Amino acid sequence: MQERCYDNLRSLRREMLKFLSDASLRSRDPLTMENAIDDIWHPKCDVFQTDSQWIILVELAGMEKEDISISRGDDYIKISGERDLHPEFEHATYYSMEIETGRFERIIYFPDLNLDKDNPQVQYKDGILQIAFNIEATIERIIPIE
């Protein structure tokens, strides 16, 4: 009976992943599928817009900037890397372990704005990664009717 229970749970998990995949494709929400996969962690981030920029803030406390990778596709930006457990505490007995370690990745889709995607301003200070894209003016052209 216990084995049948585990089979049912595995089947339910597989169906949920299919559902989340479908929802992710429809919503373009990058966290839908990422949160369903448990082998990497996903740092918290804020994404917002000012009058002149579209800005991403990513919380990466304890990281060195050399351990953070940023890449860009046509419609998304990906932040990834790895945060190791501090070696001096590697053999400690933990009573609570809430700080994520290991590989991480966060994919954020670009909004429907005219952004200068080729020239982001990137800073890393006090555990916060900031990526800012300038919002470019939209040029509207008049098309004559012949």
* Mean pLDDT within 93-100: 85
Amino acid at 15: E
Q: Is the pLDDT of residue 135 over 60?
A: yes
Q: 8 pLDDT band (50/70/90 cuts)?
A: confident
The answer to whether 58 and 42 have CB atoms below 8 angstroms apart is no
pTM of the predicted protein model: 0.69
The C-alpha atoms of residue 53 and residue 76 are separated, in whole angstroms, by 16
pLDDT score of 14: 67
Q: 100 pLDDT band (50/70/90 cuts)?
A: confident
The C-alpha atoms of residue 119 and residue 134 are separated, in whole angstroms, by 8
What are the residue ranges spanned by the domains of the chain?
1-38, 39-134
Third-level CATH fold of 39-134: Immunoglobulin-like (2.60.40)
Q: What is the number of alpha carbons within 13 Å of residue 34 lying toward its C-beta?
A: 18
Residues 53-62 have pLDDT tens digits of 999 999 999 8
Helix, strand, or coil here: 51?
coil
DSSP 52-112: SEEEEEEE-TT--GGGEEEEE-SSEEEEEEEEPPPGGGTTPPPS---S--EEEEEEEE--S
